[in-house]
């Protein structure tokens, strides 16, 4: 009896230990590459396995790679483009999604189910399938190598419309009715009453779109060839491609740090809001 | 409020105007290009000269090999399926394991550690692909990479391996990067479903003497099944569309062993200047993704019909 209890306890302990080891392992694997990235960006050079020991020696850290990045690359232009594209796309996407979502949830619209399905079915078309025609369209419009080519295709999407529609279908009927009694038109009710109450979900959606736009790679790669319109990820890919014989890893990782840190900080600060949008949508970037 | 006895709303109602930007945007930027893609898939075009109608020849070419080369549709399809399949299975198993363990262990430990765990799930996913690819590209680097240094220090490796330039390691590296980036998201989805499980059912099962593994297998897993199916479907859809990691790490090589569908499409279109071939690949990819998305929508609805998850 005593022995059985002992063995059970041992097993339990073993399970506990395994569980904690698993969690710790996951934690380490998730964060170590990011920590190594930052540490390596502080080294003067990485010439062989030997220089890896310097990663953890603060006396070797310096900012030389960052200085070189700013000399070698129009980082400020890339960063400004990244910010402009992400901010304008986010603002437009959120606004259009809120308008369409409200109309679908709360307003009388003729052929509503037709419009609903028209929006829903776009989810079936993978965006990569459209890059050739979209490139032609943007070229016709003279927008290749302009940040507008990066902004316009990102302004509309079914995900946001459905998120907002879901939110607005819970908007109290009494508020809508009393606004109508006070003489508000349908659009005034939307702008002055419904939209302000939707702030939490608007913030979630905006964070989600901002990060997805900041991280976007394939379309900006196709639509820009000149530094003037490049965003950080695409500029960085061009930098990597420019090292023909041997990578200058500290420089590359410094550039990666500049690209990665803003979104990571945003992800940590806005963790709750961001999660609620992604969990509601179940849509990956 | 409108009801079915009210007169039909005018076509140009306020609601219609509010929908119009989205409708026009999607028409011009999604449906239009998709239609053009379909039409281009029946043509031969180098993006510069005149467009030539060739019927089904692009599809035919995709399914015919040349010399010792296998048909591109089959080769790329196989690589894409292998990549997506391995990623989906591994990510699902890993995230299920992690979510169950985290659900059991972190509950008792208050919210701070739980919050930290969630952050760890979130950060790889929030990392831009280029950042992730550069870090992992460095870790995999044959001369100065951490992986070779670590394995050689442990004595598991005598000479450095060029992981990204040797098959089958290259595909493994791309898979590893994808798993690193995406598993945390699945953990979060499953954790949310676990936290929404009806507490009284779990408590009743515990009273009946179910505990630990038995409880997990007989009660938790069946309740979790809809979310698990959903997670698998979106992971599959997501990985079938992989591009960034391949472009940044391996460029489809070595010997085309990492040539996944979207990379092949990109390469045919903008490097091979063969818009017809690229579009035909796009149409094939669309057929697969559309079927899976329809499945995802059904699962999504099933998920909402149940009270939990």
Neighbours of B128 (CB within 10 A): 26
Q: Phi and psi of B43, rounded to 5°?
A: -125, 170
Best B115, B134, B189, B248 member to test A by mutation, with max A CBs in 10 Å, is B134
| Token digits of residue A216 | 């976007």
Distances (CA, A) of A82 to A85, A93, A145, A232, B198: 5, 16, 14, 6, 44
| Token digits of residue B172 | 């493994």
The tens digit of pLDDT for each residue in A34-72 reads: 999 999 888 887 777 666 777 777 777 888 889 888 888
Residue B41 CB partners (closer than 8 Å, separation 6+): B58, B59, B276, B279, B280, B282, B283
Average pLDDT estimate for A253-278: 86
Neighbours of B212 (CB within 10 A): 11
Question: CB contact, 8 Å: A26 with chain B?
Answer: yes
CB nearest A46 (choices: B2, B11, B144): B144
Tell me if A126 and B241 make a contact (CB, 8 A cut-off).
yes
Provide the strand spans (E) within chain B: 43-44, 52-53
Position A283 scores a pLDDT of 44
The tens digit of pLDDT for each residue in A90-132 reads: 999 999 999 999 999 999 999 999 999 999 999 999 999 999 9
Which residue is associated with the tokens 């499945």? B295
- Is pLDDT above 70 for A17? yes
Task: Tell me which residue of B122, B233, B124 sits closest to B180, measured CA to CA.
Answer: B124
Best A126, A212, A280 member to test B by mutation, with max B CBs in 10 Å, is A126
- Minimum Cα–Cα distance from B1: chain A residue: A177
Tell me if B135 and A283 make a contact (CB, 8 A cut-off).
no
Question: Phi/psi class of residue B84: alpha, beta or left (left: φ > 0; alpha: ψ in -120 to 50)?
Answer: alpha
Cα–Cα dist B259/B70, whole Å: 13
Cα–Cα dist B259/B271, whole Å: 14
Tell me if A256 and B126 make a contact (CB, 8 A cut-off).
no
Tell me if B128 and A263 make a contact (CB, 8 A cut-off).
yes
Please, which pLDDT band fits residue B133 given cuts at 50, 70 and 90? very high
Question: CB contact, 8 Å: A40 with chain B?
Answer: yes
Contacts of B275 in chain A (CB under 8 A): 132
| Token digits of residue A172 | 């109290």
Question: b/e per residue, B183-204, with b = 16+ CB within 10 A?
Answer: bbbbbbbbbbbbeebeeeebee
| Token digits of residue B291 | 């079927």
Distances (CA, A) of A253 to A53, A237, B43: 17, 12, 43
- In angstroms, the separation between the Cα of residue B274 and the nearest Cα of chain A is 10
- In angstroms, the separation between the Cα of residue A266 and the nearest Cα of chain B is 9
Helix (H, G, I), strand (E, B) or coil at B52: strand
Q: With both helix axes pointing from N to C terminus, report the angle between A75-106 and B14-26 in degrees, rounded to the nearest 10.
A: 140
- Is pLDDT above 50 for A285? no
Average pLDDT estimate for B131-160: 87
Task: Tell me which residue of B83, B145, B255 sits closest to A249, measured CA to CA.
Answer: B145
Tell me if B282 and A156 make a contact (CB, 8 A cut-off).
no
Question: CB contact, 8 Å: A243 with chain B?
Answer: no
- Is pLDDT above 50 for A246? yes
Q: With both helix axes pointing from N to C terminus, report the angle between A112-121 and A75-106 in degrees, rounded to the nearest 10.
A: 150
- Is pLDDT above 60 for B94? yes
| Token digits of residue B13 | 């109602």
- In angstroms, the separation between the Cα of residue A103 and the nearest Cα of chain B is 5
Contacts of A137 in chain B (CB under 8 A): 28-29, 32-33
| Token digits of residue A269 | 């600060």
Contacts of B184 in chain A (CB under 8 A): 30
Q: Where are the alpha helices (DSSP H) in chain A?
A: 2-40, 64-72, 75-106, 112-121, 131-140, 147-151, 158-168, 173-181, 186-188, 195-197, 199-215, 218-223, 232-242, 249-269, 271-281
Residue B69 CB partners (closer than 8 Å, separation 6+): B75
Q: Which of 32-71 (B) contact A at CB < 8 A?
A: 32-34, 36-37, 40, 47
Please, which pLDDT band fits residue B27 given cuts at 50, 70 and 90? very high
Question: CB contact, 8 Å: B167 with chain A?
Answer: no
Q: Which of 196-235 (B) contact A at CB < 8 A?
A: 212, 230, 234
Regarding an ipTM greater than 0.85, the answer is yes
Which residues are B44's β-sheet partners? B52
């Amino acid at each position: 009896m005593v022995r059985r209890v002992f063995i059970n306890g041992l097993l339990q302990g073993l399970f506990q230990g395994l569980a904690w080891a698993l969690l710790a392992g996951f934690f380490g694997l998730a964060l170590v590459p990011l920590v190594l990235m930052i540490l390596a960006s502080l080294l003067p050079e990485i010439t062989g396995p030997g220089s890896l020991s310097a990663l953890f020696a603060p006396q070797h850290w310096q900012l030389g790679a960052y200085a070189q990045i700013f000399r070698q690359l129009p980082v400020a232009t890339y960063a400004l483009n990244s910010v402009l594209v992400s901010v304008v796309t986010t603002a437009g996407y959120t606004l259009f999604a809120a308008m369409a979502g409200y109309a679908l949830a709360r307003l009388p619209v003729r052929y509503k189910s037709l419009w609903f399905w028209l929006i829903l079915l776009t989810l079936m078309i993978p965006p990569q399938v459209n890059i050739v025609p979209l490139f032609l369209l943007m070229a016709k419009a003279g927008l290749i190598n302009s940040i507008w080519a990066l902004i316009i295709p990102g302004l509309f999407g079914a995900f946001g419309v459905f998120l907002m529609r879901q939110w607005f279908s819970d908007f109290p009927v009494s508020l809508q009715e009393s606004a109508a009694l006070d003489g508000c038109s349908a659009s005034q009710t939307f702008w002055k009453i419904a939209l302000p109450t939707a702030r939490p979900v608007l913030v979630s959606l905006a964070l989600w779109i901002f990060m997805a736009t900041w991280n976007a790679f394939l379309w900006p790669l196709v639509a820009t060839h000149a530094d003037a319109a490049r965003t950080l990820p695409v500029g960085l890919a061009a930098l990597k491609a420019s090292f023909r014989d041997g990578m200058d890893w500290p420089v590359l990782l410094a550039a990666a740090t500049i690209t990665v840190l803003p979104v990571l900080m945003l992800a940590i600060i806005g963790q709750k809001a961001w999660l609620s949008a992604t969990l509601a949508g179940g849509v990956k970037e | 409020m409108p009801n079915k006895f009210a007169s039909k709303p005018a076509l140009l109602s306020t609601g219609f105007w509010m929908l119009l930007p989205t409708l026009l945007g999607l028409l011009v930027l999604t449906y239009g290009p998709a239609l053009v893609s379909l039409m281009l898939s029946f043509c031969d075009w180098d993006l510069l000269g005149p467009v030539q109608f060739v019927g089904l020849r692009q599809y035919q070419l995709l399914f015919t090999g040349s010399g010792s080369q296998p048909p591109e549709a089959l080769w790329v399809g196989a690589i894409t399926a292998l990549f997506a399949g391995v990623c989906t299975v591994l990510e699902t198993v890993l995230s299920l394991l992690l979510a169950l363990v985290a659900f059991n262990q972190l509950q008792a430990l208050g919210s701070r550690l739980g919050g930290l765990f969630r952050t760890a799930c979130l950060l790889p996913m929030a990392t831009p692909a280029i950042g992730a690819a550069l870090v992992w590209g460095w870790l995999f680097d044959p001369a100065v990479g951490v992986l070779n240094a670590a394995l050689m220090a442990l004595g598991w490796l005598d000479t450095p391996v060029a992981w990204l330039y040797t098959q089958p390691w290259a595909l493994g590296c791309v898979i590893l990067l994808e798993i690193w980036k995406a598993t945390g998201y699945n953990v979060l989805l499953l954790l949310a479903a676990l936290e929404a499980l009806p507490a009284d059912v779990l408590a009743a099962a515990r009273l009946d003497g179910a505990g630990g593994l038995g409880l997990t297998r007989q009660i938790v897993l069946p309740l979790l099944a809809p979310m698990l199916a959903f997670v698998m479907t979106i992971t599959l859809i997501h990985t079938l569309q992989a591009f960034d990691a391949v472009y940044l790490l391996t460029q489809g090589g070595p010997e085309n062993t990492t040539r996944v569908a979207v990379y092949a499409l990109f390469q045919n279109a903008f490097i091979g200047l063969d818009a017809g071939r690229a579009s035909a690949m796009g149409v094939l990819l669309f057929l697969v993704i559309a079927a899976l998305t329809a499945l995802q929508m059904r699962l999504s609805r099933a998920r909402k019909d149940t009270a939990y998850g």
